[in-house]
Structure 1
Amino acid sequence: MTIKILLALLLFTCFGQFAQVTVIGHNLVNNTKLTHTKILVKDGNDILQRLDTKTSSDFTIKLDYGKIYRIYFQNAASPVMFMEVVANNIPEDKYEYKMIYELNVPFYYKDDEDVDTTVFLKPCHKIIYNGTTKMVEDTAYNGSFTKKIIKTNALAEIKAAEGKAVEVPVTLGGRACLNSDIKLCITNKTISLYDKKGVLIKVTKTNRSGAFAFTGVKSSNVGKLKIESKENDLNSAMITILNGAGKKIVSAKYMAPGLEMPLKDEDVRNLTDNNFTYNIGGKLILSSSTQKKFLANKTVYLSNKRNTVIKKTTTNILGTFVFEDIKPDNTYFIGVDVRESGNGEKIDFLNKDDKFISHLDTIAAARRSVKVSSDYNSAFNDISISDDEMRMNVKAKLFGDNTNNPIGKLKILLLNDSYQVIDSAMTDDFGSFKFKYLPFLKRFYLSAENTNNILDVFNNILVYSNEDNMIKIMTHEKGAKFNYKPLSSELNKLKDIEIDDPWLELVSGDPSPKSHQRGLNSSKKTIVENILFDNNQYELLPQAKEILDKVILVMNTNKSLKLELSAHTDSKGNDADNLKLSQLRAKTVREYITNAGIDISRLISVGYGESRLRNNCGNNVPCSEVEHAQNRRVEFKILED
């Protein structure tokens, strides 16, 4: 015993002065250096060190082995937070090693409305011993903590003051369409909200999917809506207002100069939606003087007005991305890491229909970004995405009690919020299951039958993401089937969303039956694009060129692709003139593609005039401009070898 004590004393004498963990930190707020931070190092209640970074954003702290330390950070701009360094479990035979850990310490503005400052009551970062010769981050804890910092949309509640209910301003939101058909959206029309005395409250416009929102409204005072169209293209059309859930609220026939729609108290209640949000998205193209290419498989960040990242996603193979839960009347930034473009290169931001929106030319927080305001404006309108233009992939893993017990060969059902079965999938031997390219749902449920009581050997069912992060622990009752109703915060960990684009099948070359769900007509294999021309003209407009640039990029990627392109007109005007005009337009489209280097043998062009209308708007049939616009199009038919 005496010899062991002497050896321990000798080790301490020899190595004690070197027995330390060195923590090197760089304080950042939204990727910008943060100075004037006070730092306290504590062991329990004892303060061991005090630091002040002053005009620097960096710090270095040296800690002895054998203790658990808390390092507190105080900065006037941010909430107080602390990290934890667990150095009490390092064996004495490792004391000869100096263990260095370097990190960026992310701070958040304490007045940032998207940040939940209450989470900083717990450690913002944990550093642990890895069992060999290094201090490393506790990835499970740190990853879980980071996901809690940004608030999720919470249901708005009625506040009370001194026992009395207080009317809180609310958001009214919905969609305007023709004849209750959400595919016939009333776009870019002025919509006004009036009180019960006829006094104007607010004015906005419907966006490209017919959606509108009024924020900060006292619902008890709302009297009517008014829709106006300067183009007089809605005369005699039946206008329907739907709420966010798609429920019909009110309908009336439009008569110039505007349609007034009185709202009952029940109508106002049905339109009230304090969780009303938009979806936005588009496409990123990396361009230079010599080439254009999709900015594929890159991280895209959505930041708030303080440049705090609140969401991030990844572009697909066509460079497209989408963000949901965009609050009305807010300011956002959409950006990518600055390293994604080099000298002489720029990143173009296009909308879903390939209309050029902007360059990503604002540099902030080490990202190349573009500013977006979510009130009504032409740019925000152009990048708005409706739910029916989106698709989702749902994937997860199921385990019993622990990750050593994957639950295989279990049939999983995905249900919508009306409990209708949308699709089914079978878990594999690793407990994984996937639902691919489903219609987008804001809410869905997962269910599985407990056939032959196969789940009864487990006390708990664990739901993990495909990135191996735990989402939910569910207690299992013997004989019960698996039913999982994800919370809003859990839904985002289960699903990936993307913009519906039939060209994805062609650029990926995926021949599977599932791939035909991407908007591609599997029997005729035809893609419809809204390639616009000026009236009675066949010269390509800038937006048409952006669409055709996408076609060119796809054809350059898929060298076996052959297309028949056909141009179509509406029924207005002379039949023969429309036929000739469509032929010229088809020829113009073909020449644009072949001038970019696509072999002419891969293309056939034809003009059909008004002979193939998509609706009943033929000669002398009264139709709205929205209905006529459905017939003005260019179609791309995929030819068989």
Structure 2
Amino acid sequence: MRFKNLFIIGGSICMITLGVLIAPKMLKSDDLGKANKYYEKYDYKFAIDIYEKLLEKSPSLEVAQKLANCYRFVNNTIAAERAYATVLTFPGFDPINYIYYAGILKQNGKFDQAKRNYLMYAERVPEKSDYAVKLANSCDAARLWLQNPDVNVDIENENSFNSEHSDFSPIAYANGFLIISDRWFLKSPENDKNAKVYGWTGNSFLKIYQAEQAKDSAAGVMQLTLLPEQINDKYHNGPATLNADGSAIYFTRAGVADDVDLKKAKDVVFRKTIYLASKINGIWSEATPFPYNSPYEYSVQHPALSPDGNILYFASDMPGGFGGMDLYYSEKSSNGWSKPINCGNIINSDEDEVFPFVRKDGTLYFSSRGHITIGGLDIFSSKGDKNSWKEPENLKSPYNSTRDDFGIFFFQDNLSGYLSSNRPGGKGADDIYRFYQKPKEQFYAVEGKVNEKGTGNPLSGLKIFLINKKTGEEKTTISAEDGSFKFALEKETDYTVRGDMDKFFSRQEGDITTKGATESTVFNVKFEVEKVEEAYLVRLKNIYYDFNKYNIRKDAEPELNKVVAFLNNTPSVNIELRSHTDARGKAAYNLKLSELRAASAKDYLKNKGIGKERLSSKGFGESQLLNACADGVKCSDEEHQLNRRTEFKVVKVSPVLSYLPAPFKNFR
């Protein structure tokens, strides 16, 4: 829970400040009050020791609940699973524990159990059932992603960086990297009884380390040094981001400002802040605070610079967000940094979005609990900038696991880099992992099939044209017995694909482009064509109009609704509404009346959500009678009614283009 750590100044000046504790001596008695004080000050490591003993001797819902919460906060999912299972055995527990328990089960890879507990919450809290069902359904996606990892991505533990403690969020720096770690670098509780301990974890405070290849050592052996005290103060520091030339650093810091009087600042919560420093003549300046920090009110953390250094992205729980931690951005100008703006609800959810990173191509990477995840925090990517983004994509497995995955960094090739995770099998709490995505051999092609409209029969022997829109070069092929055809395509090229215009509708064509394609792509084209001499015409039944009227009557709506369904099911089709009258009355009047009736039918379809560009209308008056009831011929009302009809005709069938990734062999 690196991004929610709050830091409390207690009543004692030196012994208990900001979660800084002298490692506690052996307790003489298991005291609930003492455990609760540790709990309230976020010193979960010490609270756990007492709660465990209390639960064994004097079990109660309060003790079980707080113990479970402690394990959840320190990310011990194995112990948390056991603890929340215990909570659910006590009468009167808060139903939110189903959600907590399910989340822990999901992180432990127990998706069926997690799903059952999410649904139990939905049953117990009906007003939040939609939320709970969404979480339950996410278990199915999580299992699918986990069981089908990307075989083109290799991930391995970066042993040279990692220790038995937390190590995460590496970035390139000078001839090596900067990493964040809470390892005991200078002193540890074992060799210094006065060593400062962070009560949340029981470890040292987070510091920013420089990691370089150790001199006169085997390849892969890294030498770590602390950044100077201008950057690393006595409390938490990191993660960090650098500008392009490494002359400016922005980093998270949590601690007490120099002007705070600890004697007076009793029970004040200090949250995380961003600081920045510059390197001048090889020496780091004193760090100065980001102008929009507010340590008494909310956290500002996890800075990430855009490639040009002019946009600073970061995470914050400042008022006005969508929930939890949101991502924000601030723009650099001659007057400094602009007021932060939320990145918007495409990126941000009602839970936490944290650890942003901007790749050199502008792609934003971040970690989230609020989007659909495999387990804890998952890494997502999105294209865009500032507060305009495309829907985030989960990187799936193996980038993401059932545990927390965050702190991603890419090398210049945009294919390899580092990420951080507390997934099983690591050396410590959080470890740094190196990933490498194998470059894919790119190819482009179009494959398609031609069927006759109406019958669905494959059309063989039809000439298909592929036209290079820039050069005008034409390639042709003949559809096979099953109606199939294919062409190879060049990269960065625009094409038109069309059928034989002599035998079939001339508008049977579609555009394809390989411009901007970053991976192998097969364009799957389906032609549903009709012969010119057999135009696709459908007569609508029971479309009646009152005498001398053109409005759509209620009894005509069911038939027109069938047209709506047809158009919704065939989005590649445009139609023409065609209305006719009987022969009674003057021909000019009947023509006008039929045009109005056709237009009414078109307006009805538009009001049902059909795009106007897909509709046209035409009136034929009495010019196309279906029987002998012309002027002067005596006919019954039923015979005249046969001629008062509305039809629709397909006037354009655009090919359906589907984009399928290279590994797929069964094209739609």
TM-score by length of 2: 0.23
Could you say which structure has the greater relative contact order, defined with CA pairs below 8 angstroms and 6 or more residues apart? Answer: 2
Give the strand-richer structure, 1 or 2: 1
TM norm structure 1:
0.24
